[in-house]
Structure 1
Amino acid sequence: MKSLFDKYEISSYELSSRSYLAPHVTNINRRDRFSQRYISYLKERAINQVGIIVTEYASVTSDDWPYEYAPLAPLLGPSLRGLVDQIHETNAKVIFGLSHSGGQGSSAYSQQVLLGPSPFPETNSRELCTGASHDQINEIINGFCNACKIGLEAGCDGIEINGGQFSLIRQFLSSLTNVRDDEYGSDRLRLLNELTEATRKIMGNRLIGLRLSIDELAAWGGISPENAHEITDQFRDRFDYIAIERGGIYSQSETDPDFHAGILFMADAIKRMPPKVESRPRIVFGGGIYTIEDANFALNELGADLVDLTKVLIADSMFVAKSAKDLAPTPCIACNRGCCVRDSRNPPIYCTVNPRVGNEDTQIKTQIKSVTHRNLMDKPKPRLSIVGGGIAGMHAALEAVGHFDQVTIYEASSHLGGLLAKYSPFHPNYHMQALLSHYIKQINESPIKLLLEYEVDPDELMERQSSLNPIIIASGSQFNTTIPVHCDLGQFDSGPRVISPIELFSKAEELAGKSIVIYDPIGAETAVALADFLILRNISFHFVTTDSIIGTGLSLTNDLVGANHRLLRSGNEVTYEAVSPIVQHDGLHLISSFSSEPISIPCDIIVDASPYRANDIRWRDLNFELIGDAQAPRTLAHATYDAKVAIEGVIEKLYASTNQGGH
């Protein structure tokens, strides 16, 4: 039986495990270099038993500039060498990721015409590419070849060619985008054939991998699991591995979907491929792998040879190393909040459950300062108090362990978790409960002192606080509707009632017979989660949003299209562009921001999906560090990031006070 932790031979290389880190956009590189920040990000994962690491895809020609911080292969020589040298200090193998985005790129940065196999519009920008000439095709092949030479000179163990999402190669392979009337149209595999032959001559016995979309999810044409074997069969002896994915020009958000896609969502596609086990190439399976059990299932039941662990390695760089020791890694919650950053706003990569992502070099400096500080100090020893045991408080406490001689959490309720504990049993994202359980387990197994049902008095804390006894406030938030009520509603049945999302989650069955309105003033994930929750239970509702589509805050999660589709298919009524809500006896009254006409929605229940507000504003007037909802409405990602920054700030202050010779 195969195991993720097996050493694995591929060509002349021995891998430390069957794990694979895929190329992904980070927005922490620059056009002309891999940054030290990015190298530290990769090395943090390489030292923890990852077998293969593929660099962020680099464009092979200067006309291809798909996003602002997309690396350009011809300019990367020196920084690539530095990257390889540092990764080779570990046991991981370094693969140079190479790509050309073709018609799925952007002319905004290069100011050059996009090239594709045939003219087709990019589905998001509607930009139209032109069909590449034979000379231009040869230039692209030469670009790949020159990039191979750069990779060899830098000491890379191989290259990976992008034939998946956002790639010219896939566009040539697909009947959706390749309608040429020349030899590249009659034989859609021709370009890949020519490219493979040319690059193999240069790379010799170094590894060459192919990322391939085996399902473009288009019923009327394109690549599908039933015909993808024609590609894999022909190239099985010419690539050392093929990393499979899904998605095409009309299904970009399906390549890297959020939790709605489920566990092992690529399993169906690979099962639909005609079985030719004895002749198939080595397969890297990715798509919905969140646990070691998922990984081993892919290896043993789906015929994978390597497993793409990118998402879980972002959430916890030590996923492989911890799993090998039967330790629980921090779970990925598949929210896509910070790991899908191919966006014109250029957000740097981050992670809801791991706020150190992309800042690994900063983490090392903080650890050094903390150790230096503790070695210099004699008496007294530093102690940290944290008020609040929600996600921000728990994360701050875990970050602080090892930096302080005592960390104490004061929690007013009888349990940890704050809002996460109230949401997670009902939230459609089933990974939320795994995250809560992980935090609580980590707290219970740590030296953190936990005081439950402990009401803290602000004045008492003021007397305790000193440079060696810092205090962090993570007291959380509570529901406080933003919708004005212009009537005396009296008893429950006398008029509409405004309730919180948590009350709807917990009392949905009681409210099933009533007319429910979900009011979403900010395009938040909460409102979409409420809608999904009610749809799953066949409870009717009316969704009201201030925008022209629902869930605008989901634009980076790859669920914006999916959320709107789910709501429209459910048959529930939606009112768009509605503002200035007022509650009156007969229901919710609003104004159309488009026509300025009044809108009246009769209802019994109004669920206000506005952000919660701080529990106790007294903390604001005192000199304490506020994090999470105690500071301002926060998402899970912002709460964990607040905690990280707060602990680093406290350590910096302690270090500074020690260097000054005072306490």
Structure 2
Amino acid sequence: MTVCAKLFSPLKIGKHILNNRIIFGPHRTNFAVQNLPSKQHVNYYERRAKGGVGLTIIEGGCIHPSDYPYERAIFAYRKAVTDGYGQIAEAVHKHGCLAVAQLNHSGGQADSSLSRRETWAPSAVPEISSGEVPKIMEREDIKEVIEGFVNAAWRLKNSGLDGIEINAGQFSLLRQFLSPLTNYRSDDYGGSLENRVRFCREVLQEVRRATGSDFLIGLRLCGDEYAPWGGLNPEDCRDIARHLCKGGLVDWFTVETGSIYSLHMTSASMRHPEDYAAQPACLIAEAVDIPVCATGSIVSVKLAEKLLNEGVQLAEMTRALIADPDLPARAKEDETNIRPCILCNQDCYVNSVMNPVLSCAVNPFAGEELKETYTVSPAGFKKVLVAGAGPAGLEAAITAARRGHRVVLYERDSEPGGRLKLAARIPGCGKFQSIIDYLYRCVREIGIEIHLGSNADDSVIAAESPDAVVVATGSRPSPVPFAVGAGITFIRPEELLAGNRKVGSRVMIIDLEGAWQAPGVALSLAGEVEKISIITPEMFVSPELAKNGEFLYWYQQAFQKNIEFIPQTEVIRVSGSCLEAVDRFSREKRMFNQIDTIVPVIPAYPDQSLYLRLLKTGIQVWVAGDCVAPRNLGAAIREGRNIGLTI
């Protein structure tokens, strides 16, 4: 049992009372339809309100036509948004939750590919990823943006929302004015702290004047830009907060971190401590007399309670609430029942050009709340055998059992988890184990019959005589796509992570996957061997890591551990202690000698042998996870749940 007295105590914020201190913060969803709030938004936010969250902050809405940061952004400057915001407010209020919406202008952190016009910023500082140079804003532009905030705020007040949050944090024009990294102006909007905060203060003044004192106004600030050569540090941000909280302009501050050079530090992954962003919030909380909300990677109610006892008044637990909308209600009883957010940034990190719709690797109902049901099929109760206790098999077993089916689970290894339990052994990846532990605990609590260390072969299936079989047998290693001679030690990544550390002093990792395995294996070996190299035909080692904001982390770690990267190089053959390769473009031959161990990282191959045999028997058979096609955790859990709901 967990007692979080402070977390579940009420808090006065402005002229409103929050039922508790848990915030569901603003984040991109890609749910908008024709750039307006949609029914999917309504269902999504209502589900978290129903689960007991105290305050919901709707994702950022653009306040001016000069800002079109991504295809499915909400255009809060359109009159037509009022109806959608109103529906969200009504749905959230039914459950005693306050509802506000974030308003924003992305400034120079947008790009012109969608708007087909220049981006706006305080100075001509190129956007980091695209290199696009923004227009230096003129006074008339500043005036237009202020009017945009005012008009949008008035529109949202009339829609029935309780307030707004103005973004001066990541992806924000206002932060770009506040920061010496991006503000080089010499007029009265640049230079001194007083000048750099002028734009933000004018926005707050005009919005407060237009909406009145009963309408909540929050301000999201950056607490640390992680740019010690010239960016905002926590002390700077404390001084900014002191300046802006005067005169009742702001009802609360939300403090996040990150800048144009550190996007990955705004919603950091599991590789960083949960409280990595808390210190700036605590510093600001000591300096102001209005509530302050801590952000970052807070997914534990124990950590949230600890931070509240250390000085902040609110805790933003956004990703945790995506993973489990019922977190507040469950935390009051027993936090072990909370489906854990593992901070993997797989399906909730949707900041890519593909515009994927938000979901969650551990909770496939996120974004599809209307499907959240466990009705028993018309066919009645069945005996279901699940082969494989990786995430797909565990989720299928749990879902089918909750629908009333009798489930028996077989796993050939002595412990559950499949490939995921190996990933959890990589330094910094331990949170993968928490979702395995949670799913396996659910399996035991439901009373599912479990057979570990027992393969579901043909004789077992015949003896069990199930009505349906779910095949979740995972994957197997693929053959290497290059010539292999004698005299070289080959060790698969799975073997290394499982405990086979019989490697030589010089290890060459051949990365043909481009994701987490190559750097993960390298980091797990760092300190044990003399030299580790990663060779890949790609332009960069592990380019897929950029999708969930982990590219910089892995590179920083590799640099600190002296791991060598050899990109743009194709392996032709290995033999003895030598590896022969060619430059991907020039085709110039390269030889690497004195190699003791080769670790081939190659996309896995689906293990469908059992599935193909069962197809011939006429038994009802389903297949899920890596044995469909080796992918990520989100795909495995989603397929397991869909099958469990369908049988």
Is this a same-fold pair by TM over 0.5?
A: yes
Counterpart of 1:657 in structure 2 is none
Letter aligned with residue 543 of structure 1: I
What are the within-5 Å matches in structure 2 for residues 255-404 of structure 1? 255-270=266-281, 273=283, 277=286, 279-301=288-310, 303-328=311-336, 329-364=338-373, 367=374, 370-371=375-376, 373=377, 381-404=381-404
What are the within-5 Å matches in structure 2 for residues 81-120 of structure 1? 81-120=86-125
- Alignment deviations for residues 21-51 of structure 1 (CA, whole Å, 9 cap, x no partner): 1110111223432121222111111111101
- Alignment deviations for residues 313-336 of structure 1 (CA, whole Å, 9 cap, x no partner): 112111221111114212221111
Is residue 2:236 matched to residue 1:239? no
What RMSD over aligned residues (CA atoms) do the two structures have, in Å? 2.3
Normalised TM-score (structure 1): 0.90
Cα deviation for residue 276 of structure 1 reads 7.3
Cα deviation for residue 410 of structure 1 reads 2.1
C-alpha distance in 2, partners of 1:539/1:436? 34
Task: Classify the secondary structure of the residue corresponding to 1:548.
Answer: coil
C-alpha distance in 1, partners of 2:356/2:395? 23
Task: Classify the secondary structure of the residue corresponding to 2:591.
Answer: strand
Structure 1 counterpart of 2:69, from 66, 78, 82? 66
Counterpart of 2:146 in structure 1 is 141
Q: Which moved more, 1:529-538 or 1:592-601?
A: 529-538
CA contact (8 A) 1:387 1:409 kept: yes
- Alignment deviations for residues 45-103 of structure 1 (CA, whole Å, 9 cap, x no partner): 11111011100100001221001111100241111111111111111111111000011
- Alignment deviations for residues 612-638 of structure 1 (CA, whole Å, 9 cap, x no partner): 333452423543321112222122222
Counterpart of 1:168 in structure 2 is 173
- Alignment deviations for residues 340-364 of structure 1 (CA, whole Å, 9 cap, x no partner): 2111111111222112211112335
- Taking a change above 3 Å as real, the CA distance of residues 631 and 539 of structure 1, as seen in their structure-2 partners, is farther
What are the within-5 Å matches in structure 2 for residues 413-492 of structure 1? 413-458=413-458, 461=461, 469-487=467-485, 489=486
Give % identity.
29
CA contact (8 A) 2:285 2:312 kept: no
Counterpart of 2:412 in structure 1 is 412
- Alignment deviations for residues 559-589 of structure 1 (CA, whole Å, 9 cap, x no partner): 1122223323432222111224422123332
Letter aligned with residue 629 of structure 2: A
Counterpart of 1:658 in structure 2 is none
CA contact (8 A) 2:101 2:165 kept: yes
Cα deviation for residue 121 of structure 1 reads 0.5
Normalised TM-score (structure 2): 0.92
C-alpha distance in 1, partners of 2:199/2:179? 12
- Taking a change above 3 Å as real, the CA distance of residues 558 and 2 of structure 1, as seen in their structure-2 partners, is same
Cα deviation for residue 479 of structure 1 reads 3.0
CA contact (8 A) 1:19 1:52 kept: yes
Cα deviation for residue 277 of structure 1 reads 2.7
- Alignment deviations for residues 473-505 of structure 1 (CA, whole Å, 9 cap, x no partner): 101223344244432x3xxxxx22211113223
Q: Which moved more, 1:471-480 or 1:544-553?
A: 471-480
Structure 1 counterpart of 2:597, from 594, 605, 612? 605
Counterpart of 1:592 in structure 2 is 583
C-alpha distance in 2, partners of 1:452/1:504? 22
User: Structure 1 unaligned runs (5+)?
Assistant: 490-494, 651-663
- Taking a change above 3 Å as real, the CA distance of residues 181 and 2 of structure 1, as seen in their structure-2 partners, is farther
Counterpart of 2:618 in structure 1 is none
Cα deviation for residue 539 of structure 1 reads 5.4
CA contact (8 A) 1:58 1:70 kept: yes
C-alpha distance in 2, partners of 1:270/1:17? 18
Cα deviation for residue 521 of structure 1 reads 0.4
C-alpha distance in 2, partners of 1:463/1:37? 46
C-alpha distance in 2, partners of 1:151/1:391? 42
Number of residue equivalences: 629
Counterpart of 2:219 in structure 1 is 210
- Taking a change above 3 Å as real, the CA distance of residues 140 and 425 of structure 1, as seen in their structure-2 partners, is same
C-alpha distance in 2, partners of 1:261/1:460? 44
- Alignment deviations for residues 164-183 of structure 1 (CA, whole Å, 9 cap, x no partner): 01111001111111122221
- Alignment deviations for residues 101-121 of structure 1 (CA, whole Å, 9 cap, x no partner): 011112111111111111111
What are the within-5 Å matches in structure 2 for residues 36-55 of structure 1? 36-55=39-58
- Alignment deviations for residues 259-298 of structure 1 (CA, whole Å, 9 cap, x no partner): 2222200134346x4x773644311001232211111111
CA contact (8 A) 2:272 2:428 kept: no
Counterpart of 1:625 in structure 2 is 622
CA contact (8 A) 1:31 1:68 kept: no
CA contact (8 A) 1:481 1:608 kept: no
C-alpha distance in 2, partners of 1:150/1:331? 37
CA contact (8 A) 1:384 1:404 kept: no
Counterpart of 1:527 in structure 2 is 518
Task: Classify the secondary structure of the residue corresponding to 2:190.
Answer: helix
Structure 1 counterpart of 2:558, from 543, 550, 567? 567
C-alpha distance in 1, partners of 2:403/2:386? 14
- Taking a change above 3 Å as real, the CA distance of residues 647 and 216 of structure 1, as seen in their structure-2 partners, is same
Letter aligned with residue 200 of structure 1: R
User: Structure 2 unaligned runs (5+)?
Assistant: 616-620
Letter aligned with residue 221 of structure 1: G
- Alignment deviations for residues 425-447 of structure 1 (CA, whole Å, 9 cap, x no partner): 44531212222221221111113
Q: Which moved more, 1:88-97 or 1:255-264?
A: 255-264
- Taking a change above 3 Å as real, the CA distance of residues 506 and 618 of structure 1, as seen in their structure-2 partners, is closer
Cα deviation for residue 464 of structure 1 reads 8.1
C-alpha distance in 2, partners of 1:630/1:455? 15
Letter aligned with residue 472 of structure 2: A
Counterpart of 1:656 in structure 2 is none
- Alignment deviations for residues 149-198 of structure 1 (CA, whole Å, 9 cap, x no partner): 21111100100000001111001111111122221124111111111111
CA contact (8 A) 1:500 1:607 kept: yes
